[in-house]
Structures are given as structure tokens and as C-alpha cells.
């Protein structure tokens, strides 16, 4: 799919020569265009056009060209009027034109012969179809943002209303809350391939995902004017994302003082219990755990100097105490005495203190294998404060500036399934943007921006009980972890905590726009400087792994991972990103728009200010040198030096009217290898990270320190992470086509196709496993008999390499009515089929709760082909706002009571996401550090459909899977099973009461109106114990993907 260097350079030269590139890529602004004619429909050149913002008084003056046309570019969203004047003709004016972000509004005018001081005024009524843009996507309007029910008041949820956008329900900690917020897949791309812009500047978090906080929301809904979602074929002006682009614009002050004060209350007294909440033994009814949330704040905006200088500010606070029910699977009372269903076990004296202290006895149902269920409900507090301030300055009709700063700080404490550990986390996100827009003439415009995006996060795992220092595994002050791979809830820290990091992005961009009668060309550049500073301890306290409860009681350790005392995980990484683009929008006729462009993106290889990075130039170096790597070398070779991305698009009005548009486009989109790609690896690069992976562990407990004191060797293998030194640049090829038609009463219908192919996508696995080969006799992949580990002095060496691929085909259909006469609605359906050879691999071992830690074989990524972890085949979304028309004929108190009611609704249906059943231990004896990816065989007569039972206690039939032949991997495909679907209806009922031109709004919002239990995928899909017996409860679902029915009460005073 890549262009040759010669062809690429040729395309670029052609682009420059013809004033080249793509469509309406206006991230923060819109365009008002039109044609002026006389009564005979003849075009009128030389007409003076004045475009005026009716809220701020800002004006733009233009002159119609030889075609009688005009285009006012880069206008901020708002309400506009357009006036046309020409000597010998009456003037004409159109008022109340609503301009949305990223859209072009048509405002044709007709002049009659007469005196210029005579005028004809026409109200709004611009076309509802964007007739000149080839970009696939949509706009979320001010009305939708303000009036639709939003759980948590997180406006990013509204991005999912657009066709082609699906929620990534399996993204770790993102769907129901937590740092990362609502993550979406756009057009089949990975969630981290979505670009997030605020006022045209990058606001993606350190994982290249949606900005958010510990509440799992993006606050500030009352500060957002509107935002757009570009799902496919965005112009060359945009980049740094191989998926779609979500772009938001904050509100600004106007010539009148406007604002709001609000308070929103949630309380468990109004809610229904979650499906998994405990049952009161005395009453036999479910207990609704306590929950309170207060969200409060206000906005204000107005003039500092009329028509010239404006201010806007917003504050929102969140105070939440959420009680959650957790299900832990723990050794039962009999197991604490060494009695298991399979027989008595002599408990190792070294294990006994840990068993008694860190494994409380369960009080719930017994699983019949020596374990039982412990349900516990705990309060997780969350606190958040969000601020934004903005000043706009209309310096002159030719020059405008703004400065915006925002801050979002949060902290939370999350309890875990294991009842004795909690995770306190803090986030601190700050944005600053300065923009200077200068109109050198009616045909030459320049926009310059400078911005800072700073994200800080701290995360820890701490015990809620006192753990004596003499049972700590190492001298580190953080307790380690005990892992039993058969699904038992083990105590201890996660693989990365404690962690503390700060990413700061300094961004500078400039775009020059040149327009003529037939062309609108843009040329520009974008420079971003990345500073990433922090540390991640990564098992400083050590982890003991056991393959079964029996082995734990006996003290038979399967593996120990930890770190040497001299480990250094602090990093101060620096990297630069540079992009140049040229694009043109050519209108050869009034009915046809061609867009074409080229973008060049380059990034530097990241480096540490203290030189604490190293590259693995070849796997052969692992055993040949004293350290196996080359300190001081780059982590990977730069793959971005010759990466050009062409964009092509066409928009056609086949009938020459304002009712129908056909659009199509294609392009290449690169994903730069910035912080999200190397963040997890840079903390764990040898020799600065001195990790160990001991595969033959002679002891358990603090005695492991004596073994660590011997240093690394064959007994204590080194552990590290690497990036393939020859990693290639990830990119996608996108293409789409659609037909849009206005069918009357402002209703627009659209049907489209979107497709993409992904190349060189990140893939994650451990190359230090026994080699495998294909056994043609039985159709299985087989561990080579008698073969040994390729790198015996090393343990786990998880490595990222960019060899994965993806395929997406989707069909979209939508029906949209913009807000008019009290009614707005939008419905969309998306059929999508997303397949890949890997779905994650950017942040830690797995980006998805329904995915594996790493792939089965590093050298055979094709074996992982299957549905993407975020694949949702069917998505149906509907939203509406309706102002009830009652009471207009009434007077007095009756009018106040009956008039002013409105309802809003958001309804969602999404089919189930895929997941993979695993064997659960190293059955094939490949000695990989990650045994979970090994998959079973299908039992005779079963397939992905017949294996599903469909009950939360037993979602799939464990008997549908059997162990494959000894020494072989099973034939079950990755992500072969499907989890439950999701059905959700949110409802809002508002009462608006006008008080002296102000509005007092009382709000009732109900989330999950019908209280449907939307189940997640099974909590653990590991099926077998090391002795080949089935793991009880492996097919059980233990949590929901959404809340139960919740009610929110609100009051909002708008002035």
C-alpha cells in the first residue's frame, strides 16, 4: 500500500503546483459560503459581503469573485448574518444562520434592481447538508451537549452518537470509570488511534486516549460549545492519529453577560441495586450499597470591552462516595487446614503465615475445589475540581486572538477484589492554548497556535491491614504479590505500582490559507515536543506465582519475578514530532468539490536525559555479550523518515440542488511512535532495570533474598522488555463512500460504507519460548520436541514489534434532524466487522480486560487472527430532545405550570464483544513466561455459537473445550466467543421556568431506565487446573459493564 519514494515526491510536487489537499478539516471553525445573483439568476461579481457574528459583533468583509461566489473561512461557531451590497441593487441580508464546528453553511443571496438603501432580510434556513465536504463524520450540537442525559455529565459520551463510532467496553478500567474515561473505536481503529483536539491542539492523555480523570469522566460539559467527530478521511491538516479525530471548542464570552449556576445530586436512595450486590439474609432482598455524588459549579461569560474583548470562565466540582460490591475467590476454611476435595495437603510452614494473614476465609458459596466466594462492599471516594478560563480579543476586523487555560485535578481510592488492598490514585491535567488569527486580505488568512498539554498521574497499591515487615519478600517498603493462576484472588500489588509520571507536550502550529474563486489551499506545520518524566516500580516487592491451590499450600513455587536492589526505573524521556502538510479544495463547478492533500510526519527516536535507554540490536546479542544489549543506543531505529500520507476526496451534488450529496474519499494515516508506544517498555529496559525471572524457585518468602544476592545467571535469569529495533511505522489505509439526502422537514438521511486496513500495528509477546512448528498431521502448532529456550540466561523478555494487521468493513445508516421548532433527533446504525492479529500492546501486558497478556508465539502473529477485542458487530443509537408544545395558549400560573417541559432520551444497543477461553497453564511446555495465551481444542460437536449458554452464572459451556494433544496449542481461535449484548435507555425530564428573562431549569435524569443488567464478559476465562480438571467458576460473570438504574436530580439557573 505504500507509495514509492518517487511517486510520493511526485504527488507532493503536484499538490504544491495546483494549490493542493483535502476537505473541510476545520477543527475549531466553520465556513459560510454562497453565491450572489440577480433576478435573472445571472451571477454578480464585485458584490460587497459582510459576515457578522450576531453574538460578538465581529465582522468579516469580502467581495464576490467572477462566479459571484464568496467564502468566509475560519469562523468560530455561532449565529451569523450575511449582508450583500452592490451599487444599483437593493441590499440583501440573511440572519440567524447557525454555524457549527467543521461545517460549511450555504447562504445564497439574490439582489434586485433598486436603491442600495432598500434591503430584503431572510431568516436563516440554510441547507442541512454539508455539500462541499468529503469528510465522513458528524457534529454534536450545543443543544445535544446541554440537554441530553449524560451519566456523570461526561460530554465525551456523546461522541458515540455518531455512526461508525463504538464504545470499547473492554478497555481496562475505562467503560465504568477510571483514568482514561470513555474510550472509543472509530471506523475499526484501535482506541489509542483516535485523535483528541481542543481548540485545534492535542489533548490526548499519555496513552493517546481520551482525556479524563479518576471519576472516569471528562468534566466541563457546560464549558463546551460543540464538538465534531471525523470518522474517516479527514484532511491532511490533521494527523498524529491513524483512526478518527474528535475536536471540541469551548464557549466564549459575548456582548451580553451569560452564564449558569448548577447543582446535580445522585444518591443510592433513588437507585436500584446492582445485579451482584449482596442479599440481606434477614429480609432476603438485595442491599443497595451507599452512593452519593454531588456535581456543582457555574459558568460566566461576557464583555470586557463591547465588540472587542470578552471573557469566559467555568468551574465544576465533583464529590463522590461510591460503594461497590467485589467478589473474591479465596481458599475456604477446610483449605486453611490442608483439607481439599482431592485429599489432604501438608501445609508448608513457610506458607502458613501468609495463608492466615492474607487469605480471609470466604463466607459465600463454595466452589467445590477448596475455594469459596467472599463478597465485600467498600466505599471508594472520588474528589475532582475542574476549571477553565478564556479571553477572546477582536483586535480588529483582520486580527483576533484568544488565550485559554484549564485545570482538572482528581483523586480516588479504589478497593480491589481482594479485600485487603486498595489503590489510591491522583491525576492532574492542565491545558493552555494561545491562538492568533490574522486576515491579511479577504483571500489570505493565517492561524498560529501555541499550546501546552500536561498530564500527571500517581498510582499505588497499599494494604488495609498491618503486614509485619518480616513477611515481606524483599527489603523494598512495598509488599509484593502472591498469584495463583487458577483464578484465586491473590493479595499484593499490581505489576507496575507504585507509579508516578508526568507528560508535558509543547505544541506549536501554523496554517496559511489561500483562497480563490475555485480553490481553497492550506499549507502548514505542526511541531510537538514531548517530555515524559516518571517511574514505575514494576514488582519491586517481588511476585511468587503458583499454578494451583495445592501447590500454594505445599509451597511449590512455579516462578518468581522481582528486581535486583540496583534497579533504576526513573526516566526522563524527550522526543519531538514534526508534521508538514499541503491541501487544496478545488471546486471546478458549483456542484463538484475535489479535495486532495499530502501530509509528512516525522518524529525523533526518544532519548533519556541521563542516557538510561538501550537497544536490542539483534536477539543474537542476548547471549553473546556481557549485557546482551547495547547501552546508549536508541530503543528502536527511526521508521518515520520517509512517511508521506496522501488524502483524496470528492463531494458531488448530482442534481444541482441543496438536497443531495454524494461523497467519497481515501487516504493513508500514520500513528507516530510517541510516549504511549514506549512508556511501559522504557521503565523496564535492561541493564538499568535489573529485573529477574526465576523459573526454578527453591524457596518461598523472605529467603528469596539470599538467592537474589548471588546476582543473575542461570539460576536467576534476567528479565526485561524490549522494542523490536527494526520496528516499522504503524499506519492505516482508509476509504469510504456515502449518499446524503434531505427528505423533508429538515430531516437528513445518510447511508455509507467505511473500510480500513491496518499495517505494522503493535504486537506484544515473549520471544524467549521454546520454538514451535506446524504439525500437518493433526493441524496443530507443536512445540519442537527436545528443543530448549533460545535465551537460557534470560527469563521473560516481552517485546513489542510492529507486525500486526487489521481489517475493517462497516456499513452505516443515519437519520438526523437538527434542532428546530422544539425538536431534535438523531438515529444511527453501524454494522462493523473488525478483525486483526492483535488488538493492543501499547500499555503494559494487555489493553483489554477480555484479551490475553501477550500473544502465544512471537514469531507467528498470524496464529492470532480473529475478531478485534473491541469488535462490535451491531450498534444502534438514538437520541432526541423534544420541547413539549403544551400551555402556549394559557396565562398566569397555569401557563407557568404547563409550559416549559421537555424530554430527552439516549438509547443504545450494542452486540456482545469477543473474548478468548484459555487453558490457564503451560500445557504445551513452551516455557513461556505468559502461559495464559495457550488455547484449548474444540470438543466434538461444539462451535462458537453452540458453546454459549447465556446465563451469568455460566455464560459458556466449559465442556465445549478440551485439552489438545500433549505439547501442542489448541485450535480455538483468539476471541472466538462473544459476551452479552448491551441495551441502555437514558431519559431526562426538564422543567424550564422563565424568571425575568432568566431560566430556572429543574432536571430529572434516569440512567438505565429499564434497569437492565448489562453483563461484562466472564471475569476469568482460564479453564483448566494443571492436573487437567476444570476450574470451577471459570465460566461465571462477576460484574456488569454499566450501572443499574440510577437517578440524578439537578437544578440549573441560566442567565
Torsion from C-alpha of 181, 186, 190, 196, nearest 10 degrees: -50
pLDDT of residue 851: 66
Residue range 145-165: average pLDDT?
Answer: 85
Q: The dihedral of CA 662, 668, 673, 679: what is its sign?
A: positive
Decide: helix, strand or coil at residue 818: strand
64 alpha carbon, distance to own chain's centre = 44
pLDDT band at 516 (very low <50, low <70, confident <90, very high): confident
3-state secondary structure of 62: strand
Q: Shortest CA distance to 558 belongs to which of 330, 795, 342?
A: 795
Alpha-carbon gap, residue 755 to 435, rounded angstroms: 35
- Check residue 713 and give its pLDDT: 65
Q: 756 and 733 in contact (C-beta within 8 Å)?
A: yes
Q: Are strands 731-744 and 592-603 parallel, antiparallel or unpaired?
A: unpaired
Give the pLDDT of residue 995. 77
Rounded to 5 degrees, what are φ and ψ at 635? -65, -35
C-alpha closest to that of 164 among 143, 136, 141, 132: 136
Average pLDDT, the chain: 87
Q: Cα–Cα distance between 392 and 303 in angstroms, integer?
A: 9
Handedness of CA 8, 13, 18, 22 (dihedral sign): positive
**What is the rounded end-to-end Cα distance, in angstroms, of the chain?**
55
Give Cβ neighbours of residue 985 (< 8 Å, ≥ 6 apart).
905, 906, 907, 908, 1008, 1009, 1010
Burial letters 309-332, b for 16+ CB under 10 A, else e: ebebbbbbebebebbbbbbbbbbb
Asked whether the beta carbons of 427 and 395 are under 8 A apart, the reply is no
Q: What is 294-315 written as a DSSP string?
A: EEEEEEEEEEEETTTEEEEEEE
pLDDT band at 14 (very low <50, low <70, confident <90, very high): very low
Span of 148-152, 598-602, 904-908 with lowest mean pLDDT: 148-152
% the chain with pLDDT above 70 = 92
Q: List the one residue out of 651, 496, 759, 696 whose CA is nearest residue 136.
A: 651
The pLDDT of 542-571, averaged and rounded, is 90
CB 427 within 8 A of CB 214: yes
- The whole-number pLDDT of residue 949 equals 96
Sign of CA dihedral 1008, 1011, 1017, 1022: positive
Residue 669's beta-bridge partner residues?
Answer: 732
Question: How far apart are the C-alpha atoms of 871 and 865, rounded to whole Å?
Answer: 13
d(CA 193, CA 806): 13
> If you write DSSP's letter for every residue of 619-668 in order, what string do you get?
TTHHHHSSSSSEETS-SS----TT-EEEEEEEEE-TTSSSSEEEEEEEEE
d(CA 524, CA 509): 7
pLDDT of residue 477: 82
Number of neighbours of residue 155 by Cβ within 10 angstroms: 25
The CA distance from 547 to 545, in Å, is 7
Taking CA atoms, 369 is separated from 61, 321, 936, in Å, by 80, 36, 21
Euclidean distance between CA atoms 158 and 228, whole angstroms: 10
Residues 6+ apart with CB under 8 A from 925: 770, 783, 967
825 close to 834: Cβ distance less than 8 angstroms = no
Cis-peptide into 833, omega within 30 deg: no
Coil, helix or strand at residue 558: coil
Q: Which residues contact 813 (CB under 8 A, 6 or more apart)?
A: 163, 749, 750, 751, 752, 828, 829
For residue 366, what is the DSSP state? B
- Looking at residue 906, its pLDDT comes to 95
CA distance 1005 to 903: 10
Mean pLDDT confidence for 499-520: 93
The Cα–Cα gap between 359 and 553 comes to: 12
CA angle 374, 331, 856 (to 5 degrees): 95
Could you tell me what percent of the chain has a pLDDT over 90?
Answer: 54
Task: Give pLDDT, residue 22.
Answer: 31
Bigger pLDDT: 181 vs 303: 303
- Which domains, and CATH codes, for the chain? 15-123 (2.60.40.1120), 321-846+856-1054 (2.40.170.20)
Q: In this structure, what DSSP letter does residue 544 have?
A: E
User: Between the ranges 597-601, 703-707, 744-748, 1015-1019, where is the mean pLDDT highest?
Assistant: 597-601
Segment 442-501, tens digit of pLDDT: 889 999 999 999 999 998 888 999 999 999 998 888 889 999 988 899 998 776 778 899
Lowest mean pLDDT among 269-273, 691-695, 749-753: 691-695
242-251, 372-381, 623-632, 765-774: range with lowest mean pLDDT? 623-632
On whether the CB atoms of residues 188 and 832 are closer than 8 A, the answer is yes
> Would you say 523 and 582 are in contact if contact means Cβ atoms under 8 Å apart?
yes
Please compute the mean of the pLDDT values over residues 697-725 and round it to a whole number.
Answer: 83
Please say whether the beta carbons of 516 and 523 come within 8 A.
Answer: no
What are the DSSP calls for 94-119, one per residue? EEEEEE-TT-EEE--EE--BS-TT-E
The alpha-carbon radius of gyration of the chain (Å, integer) is 30
**Is there a cis peptide before residue 687, judged by omega within 30 degrees of 0?**
yes
Name the helix (H) or strand (E) containing 522: strand 519-536
Measuring CA to CA, which residue among 523, 413, 373 is closest to residue 1032? 373
- Each residue of 726-739: b (16+ CB within 10 Å) or e? ebbbbbbbbbbbbe
SS3 label, residue 255: coil
Distance of alpha carbon 213 from alpha carbon 179, whole angstroms: 5
Amino acid at each position: 500500500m505504500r507509495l514509492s519514494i518517487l511517486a510520493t515526491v511526485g504527488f507532493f510536487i503536484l499538490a504544491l503546483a495546483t494549490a493542493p489537499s483535502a476537505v473541510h478539516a476545520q477543527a475549531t471553525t466553520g465556513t459560510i459560503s454562497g453565491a450572489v445573483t440577480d433576478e435573472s439568476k445571472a451571477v454578480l461579481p464585485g458584490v460587497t459581503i459582510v459576515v457578522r457574528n450576531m453574538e460578538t459583533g465581529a465582522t468579516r468583509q469580502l467581495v464576490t469573485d467572477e462566479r459571484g461566489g464568496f467564502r468566509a473561512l475560519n469562523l468560530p461557531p455561532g449565529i451569523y448574518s450575511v449582508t450583500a451590497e452592490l451599487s444599483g441593487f437593493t441590499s440583501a441580508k440573511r440572519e440567524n444562520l447557525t454555524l457549527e464546528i467543521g461545517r460549511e453553511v450555504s447562504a445564497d443571496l439574490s439582489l434586485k434592481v433598486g436603491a442600495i438603501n432598500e434591503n430584503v432580510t431572510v431568516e436563516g434556513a440554510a441547507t442541512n447538508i454539508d455539500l462541499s465536504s468529503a469528510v465522513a463524520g458528524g457534529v454534536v450540537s450545543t443543544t445535544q451537549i446541554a440537554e441530553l442525559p449524560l451519566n456523570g455529565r461526561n460530554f465525551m459520551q456523546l461522541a458515540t452518537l455518531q455512526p461508525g463510532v463504538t464504545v470499547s467496553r473492554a478497555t481496562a478500567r475505562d467503560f465504568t470509570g477510571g483514568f482514561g474515561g470513555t474510550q472509543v473505536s472509530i471506523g475499526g481503529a484501535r482506541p489509542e488511534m483516535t485523535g483528541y483536539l481542543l481548540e485545534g491542539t492535542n489533548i490526548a492523555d499519555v496513552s493517546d486516549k481520551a482525556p479524563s480523570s479518576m471519576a472516569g469522566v471528562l468534566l466541563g460539559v457546560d464549558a463546551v460549545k460543540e464538538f465534531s467527530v471525523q470518522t474517516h478521511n479527514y484532511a491532511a491538516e490533521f494527523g498524529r492519529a491513524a483512526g478518527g479525530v474528535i475536536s471540541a471548542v469551548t464557549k466564549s464570552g459575548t456582548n451580553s453577560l451569560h452564564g449558569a449556576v448548577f447543582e446535580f445530586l445522585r444518591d443510592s436512595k433513588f437507585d436500584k441495586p446492582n445485579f451482584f450486590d449482596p442479599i440481606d439474609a434477614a429480609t432476603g432482598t438485595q442491599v443497595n450499597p451507599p452512593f452519593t455524588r454531588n456535581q456543582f459549579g457555574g459558568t460566566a461569560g461576557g464583555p470586557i470591552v463591547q465588540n472587542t474583548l470578552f471573557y469566559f470562565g467555568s468551574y465544576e466540582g465533583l464529590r463522590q462516595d461510591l460503594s461497590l460490591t467485589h467478589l473474591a475467590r479465596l481458599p475456604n476454611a477446610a483449605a486453611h487446614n490442608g483439607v481439599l476435595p482431592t485429599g489432604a495437603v501438608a501445609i508448608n510452614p513457610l506458607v502458613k503465615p501468609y495463608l492466615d494473614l492474607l487469605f480471609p476465609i470466604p463466607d459465600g458459596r463454595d466452589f467445590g475445589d477448596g475455594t469459596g466466594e467472599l463478597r465485600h462492599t467498600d466505599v471508594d471516594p472520588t474528589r475532582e475540581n475542574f476549571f477553565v478560563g478564556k479571553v477572546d480579543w477582536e483586535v480588529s476586523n483582520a486580527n483576533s486572538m484568544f488565550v485559554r487555560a484549564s485545570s482538572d485535578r482528581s483523586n480516588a481510592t479504589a478497593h480491589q477484589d481482594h479485600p485487603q488492598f486498595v489503590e489510591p490514585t491522583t491525576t492532574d491535567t492542565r491545558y493552555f492554548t494561545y491562538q492568533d488569527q490574522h486576515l491579511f486580505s479577504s483571500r489570505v488568512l493565517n492561524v498560529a497556535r501555541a499550546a501546552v498539554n500536561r498530564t500527571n498521574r500517581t498510582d499505588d497499591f497499599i494494604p488495609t491491614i498491618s503486614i509485619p515487615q518480616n513477611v515481606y519478600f524483599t527489603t523494598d517498603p512495598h509488599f509484593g504479590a502472591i498469584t495463583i493462576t487458577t483464578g484465586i484472588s491473590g493479595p499484593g500489588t499490581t505489576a507496575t505500582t507504585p507509579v508516578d509520571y508526568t507528560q508535558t507536550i509543547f505544541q506549536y502550529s501554523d496554517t496559511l490559507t489561500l483562497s480563490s474563486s475555485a480553490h481553497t489551499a492550506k499549507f502548514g506545520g505542526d511541531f510537538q515536543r514531548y517530555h515524559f518524566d516518571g517511574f514505575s516500580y514494576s514488582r519491586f516487592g517481588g511476585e511468587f506465582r503458583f499454578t494451583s491451590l495445592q501447590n500454594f499450600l505445599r509451597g511449590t513455587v512455579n516462578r518468581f519475578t522481582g528486581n535486583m536492589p540496583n534497579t533504576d526505573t526513573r526516566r526522563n524521556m524527550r522526543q519531538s514530532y514534526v508534521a508538514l502538510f499541503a491541501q487544496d479544495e478545488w471546486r471546478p463547478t458549483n456542484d463538484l468539490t475535489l479535495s486532495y492533500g499530502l501530509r509528512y510526519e516525522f518524529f525523533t527516536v526518544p532519548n533519556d536525559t541521563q542516557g538510561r535507554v538501550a537497544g536490542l540490536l539483534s536477539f543474537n546479542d542476548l547471549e553473546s555479550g556481557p549485557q546482551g544489549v547495547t547501552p546508549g543506543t536508541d530503543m528502536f531505529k527511526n521508521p518515520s523518515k520517509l512517511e508521506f500520507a496522501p488524502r483524496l476526496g470528492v463531494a458531488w451534488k448530482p442534481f444541482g440542488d441543496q438536497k443531495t450529496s454524494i461523497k467519497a474519499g481515501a487516504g493513508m494515516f500514520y500513528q507516530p511512535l510517541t510516549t504511549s508506544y514506549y512508556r511501559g517498555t522504557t521503565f523496564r529496559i535492561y541493564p538499568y532495570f535489573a529485573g529477574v525471572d526465576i523459573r526454578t524457585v527453591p524457596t518461598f518468602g523472605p529467603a528469596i533474598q539470599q538467592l537474589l544476592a548471588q546476582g543473575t545467571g542461570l539460576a536467576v535469569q534476567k528479565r526485561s522488555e524490549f522494542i523490536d529495533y527494526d520496528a516499522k511505522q504503524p499506519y492505516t489505509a482508509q476509504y469510504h463512500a456515502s449518499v446524503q439526502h434531505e427528505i423533508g422537514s429538515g430531516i437528513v438521511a445518510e447511508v455509507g460504507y467505511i473500510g480500513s486496513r491496518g499495517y505494522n500495528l503493535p504486537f506484544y509477546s515473549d520471544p524467549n519460548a521454546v520454538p514451535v512448528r506446524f504439525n500437518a498431521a493433526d493441524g496443530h502448532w507443536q512445540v519442537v520436541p527436545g528443543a530448549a529456550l533460545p535465551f537460557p540466561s534470560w527469563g521473560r523478555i516481552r517485546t513489542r514489534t510492529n507486525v500486526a494487521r487489521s481489517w475493517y468493513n462497516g456499513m452505516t445508516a443515519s437519520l438526523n434532524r437538527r434542532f428546530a421548532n422544539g425538536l431534535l433527533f438523531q438515529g444511527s446504525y453501524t454494522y462493523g466487522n473488525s478483525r486483526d492479529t492483535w488488538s493492543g500492546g501499547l500499555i503494559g501486558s494487555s489493553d483489554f480486560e477480555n484479551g490475553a497478556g501477550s500473544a502465544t508465539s512471537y514469531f507467528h502473529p498470524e496464529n492470532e487472527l480473529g475478531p478485534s477485542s473491541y469488535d462490535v458487530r451491531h450498534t444502534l443509537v438514538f437520541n432526541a430532545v423534544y420541547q413539549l408544545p403544551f400551555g402556549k395558549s394559557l396565562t398566569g400560573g397555569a401557563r407557568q405550570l404547563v409550559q416549559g417541559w421537555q424530554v430527552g432520551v439516549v438509547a443504545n444497543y450494542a452486540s456482545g464483544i469477543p473474548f478468548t477461553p484459555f487453558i490457564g497453564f503451560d500445557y504445551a511446555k513452551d516455557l513461556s513466561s505468559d502461559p495464559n495465551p495457550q488455547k484449548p481444542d474444540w470438543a466434538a460437536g461444539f462451535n462458537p455459537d453452540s458453546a454459549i449458554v447465556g446465563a451469568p452464572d455460566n455464560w459458556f459451556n466449559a465442556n465445549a473445550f478440551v485439552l489438545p494433544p500433549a505439547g501442542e496449542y489448541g485450535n480455538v481461535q483468539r476471541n472466538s466467543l462473544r459476551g452479552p449484548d448491551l441495551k441502555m435507555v437514558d431519559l431526562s425530564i426538564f422543567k424550564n421556568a422563565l424568571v425575568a428573562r432568566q431560566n430556572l431549569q429543574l432536571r430529572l435524569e434516569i440512567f438505565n431506565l429499564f434497569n437492565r443488567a448489562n453483563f461484562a464478559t466472564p471475569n476469568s476465562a482460564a479453564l483448566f487446573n494443571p492436573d487437567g480438571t476444570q476450574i470451577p467458576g471459570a465460566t461465571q460473570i462477576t460484574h456488569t459493564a454499566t450501572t443499574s438504574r440510577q437517578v440524578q436530580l439537578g437544578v440549573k439557573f441560566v442567565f
